[in-house]
Amino acid sequence: METLTHAIVEETSEVVTLTAISGAGQGAKTQKRHVFVGTAAECDLMLDDRAVSSVHCSFQITPNGRIQVVDHGSKNGTWLGRARIRDIEVSAPVEIKVGKTIVRATASTTTTLRGRWDGGDTLPGGALGPSAVMQRCFGNLALIAERSDRHVLISGETGTGKELLARGLHSLSARADGPFEVLDMSTLPAELVESALFGWEAGAFSGAVDSAAGPFERAHGGTLFIDEIGELPLAHQPKLLRALSGEVRRVGGTKLRAVDVRVIAATHQPLASWTQTGAFRGDLYHRLAVHEVIVPPLRERGRDIHALARLFAERVRPDLSDAIVSSLLSERAGYGWPGNVRELIADVERRAVFREPPEDAAQSEPETFAHAKARCVRDFELRYFRALLEECDGNVSKAARRAGVNRSHLSVRLRELGLR
């Protein structure tokens, strides 16, 4: 077990609570600082309403405690009474019509404990994250490892390094000397899910000559990491629920086997929203998400991009690491990294093979003054706004006040630069 190096701090934040009180999406509810509403799976409040667009609108707490409501180009509009909304601030509570659904928005203050990581840029297990947002993530994992042995859900976009964080949590916990098993649900055909989860007895199916223990048994006394838990078919979810209580039965067997396992599940899907539509069992979600850790995407991790690029470049071509990192940071300035760390690794490896990206070979024309000036301004803005957001913990309103610019203008510019 690694030495825990963290402190506990109290964090207060303003959040929006959205509740669908009538219409096609009635009953849906969520609570966050910034809530996106729509029918798309990535929305925080996913509504089963045909009149709602995929990403319809959003609600966000402003520094003065009001709620900013923004319509994101929806087909049927976002309405306050008889007025169609584009971008307004309103006092809470307020009722807004989204498609054919009425949602009530309220504002409240929540106070939570979180861990502050004091163990450097790297978490045991290999995750690298010198940025403020990843240091908070590391601190929360350390706090969970020290204070709880319950199951954990790690949520975040694909490629953000959720398995490394799970390994870090395992290494920091009292289970560190036990096994760490990995099961990726996204690779399993539906007919093999049960045997892959729980093992099988000899003769249970064609080809099952010998009995085999499943990952729950193999992870006894340690941790089982289940990746892409959202891919688990509904039909198998009740059996996983029983396993989380400490008992498994192999396929083809009758004996219940006691297991002592902490499950760390990972997903890039909005499972909380799925529970509202029946796409994922609510009881299973709440059992898994006793503690939920949100992993920020790479585009929100500021200085991590440089640190990660340096790490991977030195692994593959230490003799060219400076050139690789320099070219990547220059040419990818403002890039949104939709594939996150996994895409960054691929980019570094590609540069290590070709030394420079292949498309650069065609750029033989001298750079004009206007182009060079625009590039320098963009580079300055990227450095300035990254540092500013880091200082303001990602709070755009606070950043706008500190920079002395209009909040709406800053939000647009941050999106253009790929920082939002």
Q: Which of 196-200, 212-216, 313-317, 410-414 has the lowest mean pLDDT?
A: 410-414
Q: Is the pLDDT of residue 104 over 70?
A: yes
- Check: CB of residue 75 under 8 Å from CB of residue 53: yes
- Check: CB of residue 350 under 8 Å from CB of residue 312: no
Strand 101-117, strand 152-155: pairing: unpaired
pLDDT mean across residues, the chain: 87
Q: Is the pLDDT of residue 359 over 70?
A: no
| Residue, of 7 and 19, whose pLDDT is higher | 19
Distance CA 56, CA 78 (A): 8
- Check: CB of residue 212 under 8 Å from CB of residue 42: no
Q: Tokens 């078919």: give the residue.
A: 233
| Residue, of 354 and 211, whose pLDDT is higher | 211
Closest to 375 (Cα-Cα) out of 411, 409, 417: 417
Q: What is the pTM of this model?
A: 0.67
Q: Is the pLDDT of residue 412 over 80?
A: no
Q: How confident is the model at residue 355 (pLDDT cuts 50, 70, 90)?
A: low
Closest to 74 (Cα-Cα) out of 104, 110, 106, 50: 50
Cα–chain-centroid distance for residue 207? Answer: 39
| Phi, psi (rounded to 5 degrees) for 41 | -65, -25
Tens digit of each residue's pLDDT (9 = 90 or more) over 129-138: 999 899 999 9
Q: Is the pLDDT of residue 8 over 70?
A: no
Q: In what order do the strands lie in the sheet with 180-184?
A: 180-184, 223-227, 262-267, 152-155, 291-294
pLDDT for the residue 361: 40
- Check: CB of residue 122 under 8 Å from CB of residue 15: no
pLDDT for the residue 14: 82
pLDDT for the residue 275: 86
Q: How confident is the model at residue 219 (pLDDT cuts 50, 70, 90)?
A: very high
Mean pLDDT value of segment 273-287 = 88
Count of beta carbons in the 10 Å neighbourhood of residue 86: 12
Based on the number of CB atoms within 10 Å of its own CB, is 266 exposed (0-12), middle (13-18) or buried (19 or more)? buried
pLDDT for the residue 112: 60
Distance CA 271, CA 259 (A): 26
Mean pLDDT value of segment 169-187 = 95
Which residues are 315's β-sheet partners?
none
Six-digit token string for 119: 């163990």
Six-digit token string for 85: 């909304």
Mean pLDDT value of segment 5-20 = 74
3-state secondary structure the chain: CCCCCEEEEEEEEEEEEEEEEECCCCCCEEEECEEEEECCCCCCEECCCCCCCCCCEEEEECCCCCEEEEECCCCCCEEECCEECCEEEECCCEEEEECCEEEEEEEEEEEEEEEEECCCCECCCCCECCCHHHHHHHHHHHHHHHHCCCCEEEECCCCCCHHHHHHHHHHHCCCCCCCEEEEEHHHCCHHHHHHHHHEECCCCCCCCCCCEECHHHHCCCCEEEEECHHHCCHHHHHHHHHHHCCEECCECCCCCEECCCEEEEEECCCHHHHHHHCCCCHHHHHHHCCEEEECCCHHHCCCHHHHHHHHHHHHHCHHHHHHHHHHHHHHCCCCCCCCHHHHHHHHHHHHHHHCCCHHHHHCCCCCCHHHHHHHHHHHHHHHHHHHHHHHCCCCHHHHHHHHCCCHHHHHHHHHHCCCC
- In Å, how far are 40, 66, 181, 294 from 167, measured between CA atoms? 31, 40, 10, 15
Distance CA 340, CA 346 (A): 10
Tens digit of each residue's pLDDT (9 = 90 or more) over 55-96: 999 999 888 889 999 999 999 999 999 999 999 999 999 999
Q: Is the pLDDT of residue 362 over 50?
A: no
Q: How confident is the model at residue 32 (pLDDT cuts 50, 70, 90)?
A: confident
pLDDT for the residue 358: 43
Mean pLDDT value of segment 297-318 = 92
Tens digit of each residue's pLDDT (9 = 90 or more) over 139-151: 999 999 999 999 9
pLDDT for the residue 84: 96
